[in-house]
Amino acid sequence: MAIALMTKEAPYKLERLVLPKRLLVDIDGVICDYDFKFLVKKHFGVDLSPLMLYAYDLADVLGVAPALINTMFKEQVYGEPKFNKGAIKTMQSWVDEGYSVIIYSNRIKYMGYEGLEEWLIKYKVPFTEIDGGQGAYNYHIDDSPAKLASTDSSKKLLYTQAWNTRCLDIHKSFIRVNNWDEIRKVIGE
């Protein structure tokens, strides 16, 4: 993104300033993989097939109160992460290139901003800031179609998961990506 600025030294001359790319990135289902089937079996005793995951909101899929889903996810949120292949390396390269790598995660409701920051540092997840998705971004990478649709992002990358494969994307505003190699290609354009 480039903007024109006037300087004190030459107020009659406009200079182009290139701002770093702002990348909004979700954690669960994008940076980290997690075994929904195992979690649902352990907490609810249900064998969940990918076909049963017709929506991002697991409470709707199972027909249970959201509080029960929150209890299930607390274990996942505080546990040892299983990073998706290429996620950490790619994010580190973005930080090294001077991009703003902004974390936008539902984990905030469990951990708060400080707890999430501590978790990211503990597990060496490269980032420059954490926010609630209220700014303007060049790219937003998420597995939640609703979260993607609600941000002011130039390009919205929908990370394919079982729960979003049937998303109709009626406004044709998402770029579907299946892995971090594909994410790098889109953002490198």
Q: What is the DSSP string of 106-166?
A: TTHHHHHHHHHHHHHHHTT---SEE--S-SEEEEEEES-HHHHHTSEEEEEEEE--GGGTT
Q: Is the pLDDT of residue 1 over 70?
A: no
Q: Is the pLDDT of residue 2 over 50?
A: no
What band does 27 get if pLDDT is binned at 50, 70 and 90? very high
Q: Is the pLDDT of residue 76 over 90?
A: no
**pLDDT (mean) for 99-115:** 94
Over the chain, what is the mean pLDDT? 89
Whole-angstrom distance, CA of residue 117 vs CA of residue 16: 34
> What are residue 137's DSSP bridge partners?
153
Q: Is the pLDDT of residue 189 over 90?
A: no
What band does 14 get if pLDDT is binned at 50, 70 and 90? low
Please, what's the largest Cα pairwise distance for the chain?
A: 70
> What are residue 142's DSSP bridge partners?
158
Of residues 80 and 146, more confidence is placed in 146
- Residue 29, pLDDT score: 93
Q: Is the pLDDT of residue 17 over 70?
A: no
CA nearest to 1, candidates 164, 147, 105, 136: 136
Q: Is the pLDDT of residue 172 over 60?
A: yes
Q: Is the pLDDT of residue 5 over 70?
A: no
SS3 category, 1:
coil
What band does 73 get if pLDDT is binned at 50, 70 and 90? confident
24-33, 39-48, 150-159: the lowest-pLDDT one: 39-48
- According to CATH, what is the number of the domain 20-33+83-188? 3.40.50.1000
- Residue 79, pLDDT score: 80
